[in-house]
Amino acid sequence: MEKLVSTPKKKNTLERKEFMKQVGIGFGGILLMNCLQACSDSEIPDPMPGGSGDKVDITLDLNLTANNSLNTLGGFVVSGGVIVARTLDDNFIAVSSACTHQGTTINYRAAEKDFLCPLHLSEFSETGAVEKGPATSPLTRYNVTSDETANTVRIFE
């Protein structure tokens, strides 16, 4: 009777020394590239110059039902990531509609002259400044013009 001897299969493993060598080479390459870039006169180009590239430029037609609340003092609408409000002083104001704390859509409170996040109750002034946390960053404020003849409001950066 013949004995069968099984040979263990060789596993695809790296020894610790080889692994550390590979990690060191990779890390060294990254450091070298950064050092060379720091020594050059040119900058790495921004992959998205000017931020996301999508500047806010919205025109709201106040004749449309969706924007009807802006025909009333104290009314507001949310459109395209912007909250537009008509103050009790009959001025239009606009700020980013997402609370800077956790992104919840904020509301306008005309009597308090502020914006309120309904989730954690952060409060922002009509200019977007934080009045009460937990939010710590202001809302983005936008330019607003109105055209009474065309009955439109333009919000832009």
Residue 76's alpha-carbon distances to 49, 62, 64, 109, in angstroms, are: 32, 11, 14, 9
- Return the bridge partners of 59, or none: 154
> Is 26 within the bounds of a domain?
no
Give the tens place of pLDDT for each residue, 72-128: 999 999 999 999 999 999 999 999 999 999 999 999 999 999 999 999 999 999 999
For residue 21, the model assigns a pLDDT of 76
Residue 133 has pLDDT above 70, yes or no: yes
Name the amino acid, one letter, at 81. Answer: G
> Is 38 within the bounds of a domain?
no
3-state DSSP assignment of residue 4:
coil
| Rounded Cα gap, residues 69 and 73, in angstroms | 8
Residues 6+ apart with CB under 8 A from 13: none
* One-letter-per-residue 3-state SS of 65-103: HHHHHHHCCCCEEEECCEEEEECCCCCEEEEECECCCCC
Burial 30-48 (b: 16+ CB within 10 A, else e): eeeeeeeeeeeeeeeeeee
> Is 138 within the bounds of a domain?
yes
Quick one: which H or E segment has residue 109? strand 107-109
| Rounded Cα gap, residues 105 and 98, in angstroms | 5
For residue 138, the model assigns a pLDDT of 97
Contact in structure between 76 and 91 (CB atoms under 8 Å)? no
The CATH number of the domain holding residue 122 is: 2.102.10.10
> Is 47 within the bounds of a domain?
no
Q: Which domain holds residue 115?
A: 57-156
> Is 75 within the bounds of a domain?
yes
> Is 144 within the bounds of a domain?
yes
Of residues 70 and 13, which shows the higher confidence score?
70
Quick one: which H or E segment has residue 123? strand 123-125
The mean-pLDDT minimum among 29-43, 52-66, 94-108, 135-149 falls in 29-43
For residue 24, the model assigns a pLDDT of 72
In the chain, the number of structural domains is 1
